[in-house]
A and B are shown apart, each in its own frame.
Chain A
Amino acid sequence: MARIAHDTTHFSSNGVIVSDFKPGIPPPVGFAPPITSDPPFHEVARRLLLPAFSPKAIRPLEGSTRALCRGLLDGMLAEAGRGDIVDAATAYSQHIPVGVIAHMLGVPPEDGDRFRTFIHRILEKPGQIGPTDTEDTMVFYLDKVIEDHRREPRDDLIGYLLGLELDGEPLSDSHIIGTVALLLIAGIDTTWSAIGASIWHLAQNPEHRQRLVDDPDVMPFAVEEMLRAYAPVTMARIVAEDVEIGGEQLAKDDWVLLPFPAANRDPEFFDRADEVVIDRERNRHSAFGLGIHRCLGSNLARMELRVALEEWVRRVPDFELVPDTTVRWSTGQVRGPRELPLRLLRTVAPTGVAT
């Protein structure tokens, strides 16, 4: 798998979501640079974005992310207490990445629900006929957001993109739309999935919940272990030239999947690969991919996951799955709980820290 991820000559990113038609925009650029781009264009598109997602650029977002999580928990716990059932996916995990990216893009938080609809169409129902109402499309929406920012320049991610140049020219609107579309597609369901899967795991493992409450220093390791064990993302490639790999002959235009989740449980690379070791110290997982397409948002995602879990276990240290209810998981190449009913066993009042 690492070989495919590193071999961009034989494996093109022009198609990263398997569907029943081949992408209409040719390599190396593709629909949504850089994820659908191949070298050499890939690096150009990626470098433009890297500074906005470096660890130091992400750090200032931690405070607002924490406030968002606290607000969600306040809302959830205002209506439910010990013994009650809550849906951690719809009441909590799904709102976090949406709120964070809306904040970064400088659009109203209420627009989050629309983002989820746009993304759902692309990720869970690829290849189907889209909406008929053009005003309801992601491209139409983003066009308007860009127009608003042009009229009234702002210091946010859209403002940053509008200020960028490529070969001495400002980025084209289609490049900006493709980029923002990508950040929405790549950043929301993925992070939602990672937060949800982690809470699902903790619901079934009281000793791990306890460990996180007792020993906050374990959290950074726990975050990586959750990403390893429940890696939410599987990507695809299109074979660019006939090639043999692992004894299989692949033909040009074949689709291949990069199963990061399976690689993360490869016993040749991990001790006790199928077990969640909450403080695992050797963890070269590939939940964020490998090679040149390494998740651009990994620092953001990691921060969101850590803060979301820290805040959850602080307010809800004890909880469990509910017998006879269904945890519903997503379909497609991003995997995580979309409905996650939990029974609250113990809750803690907010500590009065200003948000």
Chain B
Amino acid sequence: MRIAYDRAACQGHNRCYLLAPELFDVDDEGYAILLVTGEVPPELDDKAQLAVDNCPEYAIELREV
């Protein structure tokens, strides 16, 4: 699984960072920074799903590779 993060849609709600700090950091203005570029480690799949399911702006998607 890979994470697709859409910076243009992100409004810095920071739900992803709160729920999945292993996968998302925030910059100084509070916008998300995706920490994993390749495959999501399988043990973090659930966290990735949580981030997707709680982003109010639909800025995060999971894609099968």
Which residues of A does B touch, CB under 8 Å? 47, 50-51, 53-56, 220, 224, 281-286, 288, 290-292, 294, 298-299, 302
Contacts and interface: CB of A to CB of B under 8 A. Distances in A.
Contacts of B12: 50, 54, 294
A45 to B, nearest CB: 13
A51 B26 contact: no
Given A53-B30, A56-B26, A291-B11, A284 B56 contact: yes
B44 interface: no
Given A292-B11, A294-B11, A299-B14, A285 B30 contact: no
* Residue among A53, A220, A283, A284 having the largest count of chain B Cβ atoms under 10 Å: A284
Given A290-B11, A299-B14, A282 B54 contact: yes
* Residue among B18, B26, B56 having the largest count of chain A Cβ atoms under 10 Å: B56
Contacts of B57: 290-291, 294
Given A294-B11, A298-B13, A299-B14, A50 B56 contact: no
B64 interface: no
A284 B17 contact: no
Contacts of B29: 47, 50-51, 54
A11 to B, nearest CB: 16
Interface in B6-62: 11-15, 17-19, 26-30, 50, 53-58
Interface of B: 11-15, 17-19, 26-30, 50, 53-58
A294 B13 contact: yes
Nearest to A294: B11
A55 B21 CA distance: 12
The interface residues of chain B, by DSSP majority, are classed as loop
A67 to B, nearest CB: 23
Contacts, number: 57
The interface residues of chain A, by DSSP majority, are classed as helix
Nearest to B58: A284
Contacts of A283: 53-54
Given A55-B17, A286-B56, A299-B14, A281 B26 contact: no
A334 B30 CA distance: 25
A163 to B, nearest CB: 15
Given A224-B15, A281-B54, 17 more contacts: A50-B12, A51-B28, A54-B12, A54-B29, A55-B26, A56-B26, A220-B18, A224-B54, A285-B56, A290-B57, A291-B11, A291-B57, A294-B11, A294-B12, A298-B14, A299-B30, A302-B18
Nearest to A287: B56
B11 A284 contact: no
Nearest to B27: A54
A195 B30 CA distance: 24
Contacts of B11: 290-292, 294
A290 B54 contact: no
Nearest to A49: B29
A258 to B, nearest CB: 13
Contacts of A47: 29
Contact of B54 (A55, A284, A292, A294): A284
Contacts of A299: 14, 30
Nearest to B15: A224
Nearest to A285: B56
A292 to B, nearest CB: 7
A283 B11 CA distance: 16
Contacts of B55: 284
A157 to B, nearest CB: 16
Contacts of A294: 11-13, 56-57
A292 B56 CA distance: 12
A55 B26 CA distance: 8
A46 B17 CA distance: 21
A302 B54 CA distance: 15
